[in-house]
């Protein structure tokens, strides 16, 4: 089959080290996290055709269109615009989805898409006074749903999801220990080196550590006395950025490099009371659109906000990351170990997928999915193209 020249293809992916808020990247504002990644990606692309746009996810930054500020700071030139999107923890993946849609629709041929978050420099926010003499009321986050709808904090939602779906404390501890162990093993063999862009002196992820389930079992509940979610089974509050180059198949072929074609993408809404289940209908919709079975997907990257959330999602999809599917689901660890820079995490998943798909003997298909506060899910299905033994960029 002749490849469609407008098929969107991810040809490169990079990220900063992910560091715990208040540590190595604490003094780096969000645009300055994204700019070095954008610059490094642009340097891997030819000047013609030029970058059509920069699309970045961001949740709690200062406003002012982070993507445009970062694009200018990266030296991409005044002619390159920027769009900042907010789908909360799915923002980075949403940026990739949007860029792929723009390429597929013929709006452009080269996009830099991803996300960035600086929890360390996020501004404090407050509701304005409603009457003379009143003080502003500070809040820690904006509402995910309006009055009359459930609007739990994410930790409380994870506890409720664990109870509803029967995800035991023991399985959560085991999964968290697994995430850290796999991230440490990946770092030790140099799996992250090619994708890392040093920023402000930070050269490596700082969160993964040796944890055992028996140690995790001693952690108290973090979000209520009757809960099962702990600090050890929750992702860290982090700083970081990640982005990918999404180009048309025409450009990929001209470059002569392998890539990962975006075969399908989907978003879905679920009950705001159980936002952690958002990836389930999104994954199913993406697979159905592509005509691909989950059994044919060689690697599945799920945003690891909480161990309970990942296990509830994988249980619903029929995956067993603690057993038969250990090499398929987050095989190099995830946000539980690396950290969770909210607006960037979805893009980190795509960077990780790309590395897996393009490795020698890599699988044909890879899937990334994120849960979103307020009850949403995002999923993107990728297929290896242009590599030895890969697809030709045609149909799925």
Catalytic residues: 89, 340
How many other C-beta atoms lie within 10 A of the C-beta of residue 147?
Answer: 6
Note if the bond before 383 is cis, omega within 30 degrees. Answer: no
How many other C-beta atoms lie within 10 A of the C-beta of residue 134?
Answer: 10
- Please, are residues 88 and 99 in contact by the beta-carbon 8 Å criterion? no
Token pair in block for residue 344:
């960037």
How many other C-beta atoms lie within 10 A of the C-beta of residue 98?
Answer: 20
Helix (H, G, I), strand (E, B) or coil at 312: helix
The CA–CA distances, whole Å, from 263 to 229, 283, 284, 286 equal: 35, 12, 14, 8
User: What's the burial of 204, exposed, middle or buried (CB within 10 Å: 0-12/13-18/19+)?
Assistant: middle
Please report where in the chains the tokens 């159980």 appear, as a residue: 274
């Amino acid at each position: 089959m002749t490849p469609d020249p407008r098929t969107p293809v991810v040809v490169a992916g990079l990220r900063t080290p992910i560091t715990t808020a208040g540590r190595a990247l604490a003094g780096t504002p969000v645009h300055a996290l994204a700019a070095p990644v954008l610059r490094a990606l642009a340097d891997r692309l030819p000047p013609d055709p030029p970058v059509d746009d920069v699309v970045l996810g961001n949740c709690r930054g200062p406003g002012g269109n982070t993507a445009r500020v970062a694009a200018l700071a990266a030296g991409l030139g005044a002619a390159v615009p920027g769009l900042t999107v907010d789908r909360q923890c799915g923002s980075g993946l949403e940026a990739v989805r949007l860029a792929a849609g723009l390429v597929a629709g013929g709006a452009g041929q080269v996009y830099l898409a991803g996300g960035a978050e600086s929890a360390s420099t996020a501004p404090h926010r407050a509701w304005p006074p409603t009457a003379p003499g009143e003080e502003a009321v500070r809040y820690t986050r904006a509402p995910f749903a309006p009055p009359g709808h459930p609007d739990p904090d994410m930790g409380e939602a994870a506890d409720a999801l664990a109870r509803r779906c029967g995800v035991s404390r023991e399985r959560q501890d085991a999964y968290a220990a697994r995430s850290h162990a796999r991230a440490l093993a990946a770092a030790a063999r140099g799996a992250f080196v090619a994708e890392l862009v040093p920023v402000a002196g930070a050269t490596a992820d700082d969160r993964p550590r040796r944890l055992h389930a028996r140690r995790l079992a001693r952690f108290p509940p973090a979000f209520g006395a009757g809960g099962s979610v702990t600090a050890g089974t929750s992702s860290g509050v982090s700083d970081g950025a990640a982005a990918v180059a999404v180009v048309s198949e025409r450009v990929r072929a001209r470059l002569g490099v392998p890539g990962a074609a975006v075969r399908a993408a989907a978003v879905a809404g679920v009950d705001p009371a159980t936002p952690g289940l958002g990836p389930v209908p999104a994954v199913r919709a993406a697979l159905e659109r592509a005509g691909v079975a989950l059994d044919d997907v060689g690697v599945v990257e799920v945003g690891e906000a909480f161990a309970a959330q990942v296990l509830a999602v994988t249980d619903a999809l029929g995956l067993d990351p603690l057993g038969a599917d250990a090499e398929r689901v987050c095989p190099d660890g995830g946000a539980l170990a690396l950290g969770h820079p909210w607006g960037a995490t979805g893009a980190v998943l795509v960077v990780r997928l790309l590395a897996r798909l393009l490795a020698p003997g890599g699988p044909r298909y890879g899937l990334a999915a994120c849960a979103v506060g307020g009850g949403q899910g995002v999923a993107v299905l990728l297929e290896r193209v242009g590599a030895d033994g890969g697809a030709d960029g045609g149909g799925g």
